[in-house]
């Protein structure tokens, strides 16, 4: 879809009225104002999603920054495939997380995931309660793909088709991951006192 207005006519809050596709079109044309709006719209979600994979806030922020840099570079290459731009955004993030985890896998054990202590928690109180810690521990027992499927569908609000696209699996495979992941979570959480 081509932009409805020239870039010069869009300024300030006008960007908030643009949908993701329009923003991405402007980003492909090199509009940093559109990119600013896009980052503002998705930074928190992308950081949260990456955090669930990486376990450390600093790593998640690095992943988020790299994600947006890739969006900036590759906006012209984006092909919608009947899916909204944010599923592409999550896919970039997911791939970056996988690459990063593969790099550091030999030095990282499961206990290091979801570091919940001290100043590493975000201001929004995520993972600060003891109940959250139990859930985070249960999450750490899931496979990487189960965790991703649940994070995308339960926490990020993606549809099954979008989540399947992000993970590059079929909807049936995604549902299998979700069902097994939730069953494992139920078992883990039911076992807690």
Interface ranges with another protein (CB under 8 A): 2-3, 24-25, 28-30, 32, 35-36, 39-41, 43-45, 47-48, 64-65, 68-69, 72-73, 75-79, 122, 124-127, 129, 131-132, 135-136, 150, 153-156, 159-160, 175, 178-179, 182-183, 185-186, 189
Nearer to another protein, 48 or 100 (CB): 48
* Residue 85: CA count within 13 A, CB half-sphere: 24
At residue 161's C-alpha, the angle toward residues 78 and 84, to 5°, is: 35
CB nearer to another protein: pick between 100 and 107: 100
Secondary structure of residue 189 in the 3-state scheme: helix
What contacts 180, CB < 8 A, 6 or more positions away?
Answer: 146
Quote the least distance from Cβ 107 to another protein, whole Å.
Answer: 26
Q: How many CB atoms lie within 10 A of CB 120?
A: 14
The distance of closest approach from Cβ of residue 20 to another protein in the complex, given in angstroms and rounded to an integer, is 13
Which residues neighbour 94 within 8 Å (Cβ) at sequence distance 6 or greater?
49, 53, 148, 166, 167
* Smallest gap from residue 163 Cβ to another protein (A): 10
Long-range contacts (CB closer than 8 Å, 24 or more residues apart) made by 3-12: 3/29, 7/31, 7/33, 7/34, 10/34
| Residue with Cβ nearer another protein (29 or 112) | 29
Q: Which is nearer to another protein, 145 or 159 (CB)?
A: 159
Integer Cα distance of 191 and 193 in angstroms: 7
Residue with Cβ nearer another protein (107 or 190) = 190
Q: Nearest distance from residue 100's CB to another protein, in Å?
A: 17
CB of 102 to another protein, least distance (A): 24
């Amino acid at each position: 879809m081509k932009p409805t207005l020239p870039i010069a006519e869009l300024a300030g809050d006008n960007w908030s009225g643009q949908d993701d596709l329009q923003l991405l079109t402007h980003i492909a044309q090199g509009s940093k104002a559109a990119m600013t709006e896009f980052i503002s719209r998705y930074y928190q979600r992308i950081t949260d999603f990456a955090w669930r994979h990486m376990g450390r806030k600093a790593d998640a922020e690095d992943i988020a920054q790299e994600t947006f840099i890739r969006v900036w570079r590759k906006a012209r290459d984006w092909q919608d495939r009947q899916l909204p731009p944010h599923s592409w955004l999550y896919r970039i993030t997911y791939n970056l997380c996988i690459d990063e985890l593969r790099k550091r896998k030999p030095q990282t054990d499961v206990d290091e995931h979801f570091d919940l202590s001290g100043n590493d928690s975000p201001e929004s109180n995520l993972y600060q309660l003891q109940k959250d810690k139990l859930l985070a521990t249960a999450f750490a027992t899931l496979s990487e793909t189960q965790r991703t499927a649940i994070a995308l569908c339960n926490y990020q609000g993606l549809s099954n088709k979008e989540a399947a696209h992000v993970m590059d699996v079929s909807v049936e495979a995604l549902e299998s991951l979700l069902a097994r992941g939730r069953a494992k979570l139920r078992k883990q959480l039911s076992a807690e006192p």
